């Protein structure tokens, strides 16, 4: 069967609400800087009322990655549930307009489309409070076996590991991918995901169900409950065929059975909002991977896409990423 997609991403379908605040705003609201946390509709309403003027830009971790893959010239599909409301229409429009095949039907009558209230600090750090809304209603019926079979790579976000329905969706996609020899990639997403699902994540990797893992330093260290980045890298390398460790301004480490590559960051023209840096790193890496590039070039593509996303507000690419890759890698 011909590959129709390079990447099929499954994740939360979210619209970001982005406001800028000094660190004192986070402190006075008791929100730890740089984290992601889940909040209820009531908490979202109360926090939004305190936030400054916002910018609404489609988000969602795996959705950002899918949009990035498409912007980089790859063929991407996305599975995730919005509600049939104005923000759901915004999400669906934006991901399709980015070139991603998005078919998940909108939920009717349930909670509204998921929103992530993002506070951007003066140092460009982002702090996220997420109300999942209709995201939690994605389930196994949304995973079309033909789409999974038509994708070189299935990509999941760790953020999905909480409500039961999305986990059923992932299980189904993983099973189809395994049967048909498709690669499976996973991002650990956030330390809180690792803390909540450490055994699940490790077991999934140990069982051979995951081919590629993306993690940042803190997530990897949490997975192995170690303070040593090296121990975490070795742990990942022992568990999965390909591990990609992102290290913010220190670049990235890629390890597979054969060896190890370390790449520095691609400098950004300015650093305004770090939201989506990891998502776009994954987009660049996976696009290069689907193009059959070497691991070093895959990682370089990741740093190029990550550099672009932190130059502006929002986690969806604004610049011509293909041109930027071409300028560096030819």
**Closest CB to its own copies among 48 and 192?**
48
Binds its own copies by CB under 8 A, chosen from 4, 19, 165, 271: 19
Binds its own copies by CB under 8 A, chosen from 41, 46, 97, 328: 97
Q: How far is the CB of 97 from its own copies (least distance, A)?
A: 5
Please give the residues from 56 up to 95 whose contact with its own copies meets the rule CB under 8 A: 56-58, 67, 85-87, 90, 93-95
CB 115 within 8 A of CB 18: no
Q: CA 189, CA 199: separation in Å to the nearest integer?
A: 15
Q: How far is the CB of 175 from its own copies (least distance, A)?
A: 33
Q: Does 158 bind its own copies (CB under 8 A)?
A: no
Binding mask 213-242 for its own copies (x = CB under 8 A): ------------------------------
Q: CA 7, CA 34: separation in Å to the nearest integer?
A: 28
Q: How far is the CB of 49 from its own copies (least distance, A)?
A: 7
Secondary structure, 3-state, 192-215: HHHHHHHHHHHHHHHCCCCCEEEE
Q: Give the pair of three-digit tokens for residue 179.
A: 């049967």
Binds its own copies by CB under 8 A, chosen from 318, 322, 326, 327: 318
Bridge partners, 38 (sequence order): 130
CA angle 262, 190, 180 (to 5 degrees): 75
Please give the residues from 295 up to 314 whose contact with its own copies meets the rule CB under 8 A: 313-314
Q: Does 52 bind its own copies (CB under 8 A)?
A: yes
Q: 10 Å Cβ neighbour count for 117?
A: 22
Q: Does 53 bind its own copies (CB under 8 A)?
A: yes
CB 187 within 8 A of CB 68: no
Binds its own copies by CB under 8 A, chosen from 315, 316, 321, 324: 316
Q: How far is the CB of 210 from its own copies (least distance, A)?
A: 30
- Judged by DSSP in three states, 37 sits in strand
Q: How far is the CB of 87 from its own copies (least distance, A)?
A: 5
Task: Output 255-263 pairs: Cβ under 8 A, ≥24 positions apart.
Answer: 256/295, 260/233, 261/295, 261/296, 261/299, 263/296, 263/299, 263/300, 263/303
Interacting residue ranges for its own copies, rule: CB under 8 A: 19-20, 48-49, 51-58, 67, 85-87, 90, 93-95, 97-98, 112, 313-314, 316, 318
């Amino acid at each position: 069967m011909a590959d129709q997609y390079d990447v099929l991403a499954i994740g939360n379908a979210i619209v970001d609400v982005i406001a800028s605040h000094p660190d004192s705003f986070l402190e006075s609201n008791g929100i730890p800087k740089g984290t992601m946390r889940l909040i209820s509709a009531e908490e979202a309403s109360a926090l939004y009322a305190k936030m400054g003027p916002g910018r609404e830009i489609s988000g969602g971790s795996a959705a950002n990655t899918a949009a990035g893959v498409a912007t980089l010239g790859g063929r991407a599909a996305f599975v995730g549930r919005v509600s049939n409301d104005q923000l759901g229409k915004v999400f669906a429009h934006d991901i399709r307009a980015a070139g991603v095949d998005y078919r998940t039907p909108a939920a009717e009558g349930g909670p509204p489309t998921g929103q992530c209230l993002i506070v951007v600090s003066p140092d460009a750090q982002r702090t996220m409070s997420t109300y999942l809304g209709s995201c939690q209603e994605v389930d196994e019926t949304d995973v079309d076996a033909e789409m999974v079979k038509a994708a070189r790579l299935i990509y999941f976000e760790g953020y999905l590991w909480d409500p039961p329905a999305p986990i059923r969706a992932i299980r189904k996609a993983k099973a189809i991918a395994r049967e048909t020899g498709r690669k499976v990639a996973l991002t650990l997403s956030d330390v809180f995901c690792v803390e909540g699902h450490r055994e699940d994540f490790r077991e999934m990797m140990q069982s051979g169900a995951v081919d590629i893992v993306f993690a940042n330093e803190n997530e990897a260290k949490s997975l192995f409950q170690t303070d040593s980045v090296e121990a975490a890298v070795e742990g990942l390398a022992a568990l999965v065929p390909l591990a990609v460790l992102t290290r913010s301004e220190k670049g990235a480490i890629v390890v597979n059975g054969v060896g190890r590559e370390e790449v520095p960051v691609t400098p950004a023209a300015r650093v305004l909002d770090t939201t989506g840096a990891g998502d776009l790193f994954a987009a660049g890496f996976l696009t290069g991977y689907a193009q059959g590039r070497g691991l070093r070039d895959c990682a370089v593509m990741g740093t190029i896409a990550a550099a672009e996303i932190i130059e502006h507000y929002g986690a969806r690419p604004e610049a011509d990423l293909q041109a930027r890759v071409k300028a560096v890698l030819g």
